[in-house]
Chains A and B, each alone.
Chain A
């Protein structure tokens, strides 16, 4: 089992996306006026959709230190501040969501094994439901998924720090698909990707131990 910290921005329903189980125990760290958490007890830091990127910018150095200790970060969508080492998310409305299509690129850990990429493109047959800007990746990071315009949508970065960063331009992503979609294929494959990602991180943690 690994210990994971989830940054909570006080949103209704965020707890529903991350469910503790025999593989991972989640600890919700709620942002408040004194936010400066000790990340040392955790092996994984999860920064979900709708997070407070002002608060994250304030603890930017702690996150870097956490990653340099060989630990892992999942960040989904919306980091408009520059706290994620080497990688920047950007929103852009110049492309139409109807034209969004994704292509698998470098997936050296087979995170998309047995996953239909269409689940991330279409919900009830409508494209672009899981699209929200793109990532400017660090120079040696893996672009796992790119979009129609060759922009990075999912990035795995194992080189910028000593740790692992798994970054998505869009969201949600977690143990459940929550209320974000009721398309069964999208729900199933979102959850599957997250579980396969956890497999990777848990495997790395076990190796370190």
Chain B
């Protein structure tokens, strides 16, 4: 139960993703400004979504790398900062036009489909759009996905003890946004890889997730 922590900074799509009935028993929301060592107790993995609070993550860098050093898994999506990750992320325009212009050719040139997250996915399921590129990655990392110009979309490394998987895809945010309807394929593979649990059912966000009156302490 709730073996994956999602580091959350009050962004709506993180909230709808983690609290949806499909995932609420698997994912534990951890508000970034309350994130401490105790938050990680009992967890197998953490997710750090696109649109995260980069300076706050940098302040808690040691927590993340200590967690990795215990052999755990960390998944990072979207943007990141060199203040806490040994790779260079750069912004790029988002390509949302390939669905119309060339629907069988997502903006990606190579994917290592032997990676457990990508095994069995179609090219469309493995890349919908990216938010930027990695122009460098940690010294022992290997690229899993690249763009046609050679820039890195996804990389993985074990050099910190556990497994750090970083991508400029945004499966958590975009699934929470609910406009791309086939992301269960990627997300279910990701969750299964992170802690072994296979999510069941369809992804839906109940209407009562909007307009909530938040008592901060109840998060």
Interface residues of A (CB under 8 A from B): 9-13, 30-33, 35, 50-58, 78-82, 88-91, 93, 97, 123-126, 128-129, 132, 179-182
Q: How far is the CA of A55 from the CA of B91 in the complex (A)?
A: 26
Secondary structure at chain A's binding surface: helix, strand, loop or mixed?
Answer: loop
Which one, B47-55, B66-74, B189-197, is touching chain A?
B47-55
Given A97-B179, A126-B96; A10-B210 close (CB under 8 Å): no
Secondary structure at chain B's binding surface: helix, strand, loop or mixed?
Answer: loop
Instruction: Return chain A residues, CB-CB under 8 Å to B211.
Output: 80-82, 88, 90
Partner of A12, one of B81, B205, B219: B81
A-B pairs with beta carbons under 8 A, tally: 117
Min CB–CB distance B213 → chain A (angstroms): 5
B114 at the interface (CB under 8 A from A): no
Partner of A54, one of B10, B55, B178, B207: B10
Whether the Cβ atoms of B96 and A91 lie closer than 8 Å is no
Which one, B11-19, B135-143, B155-163, is touching chain A?
B11-19
Instruction: Return chain B residues, CB-CB under 8 Å to A82.
Output: 211-214
Q: How far is the CA of A151 from the CA of B8 in the complex (A)?
A: 29
Partner of A91, one of B9, B11, B52, B205: B205
Q: How far is the CA of A80 from the CA of B214 in the complex (A)?
A: 10
Q: How far is the CA of A9 from the CA of B31 in the complex (A)?
A: 12
18 A-B Cβ contacts within 8 A?
A: A9-B10, A9-B51, A10-B54, A10-B57, A11-B52, A11-B79, A54-B31, A55-B10, A80-B209, A80-B210, A82-B212, A82-B213, A88-B210, A88-B211, A126-B97, A129-B96, A181-B93, A182-B93
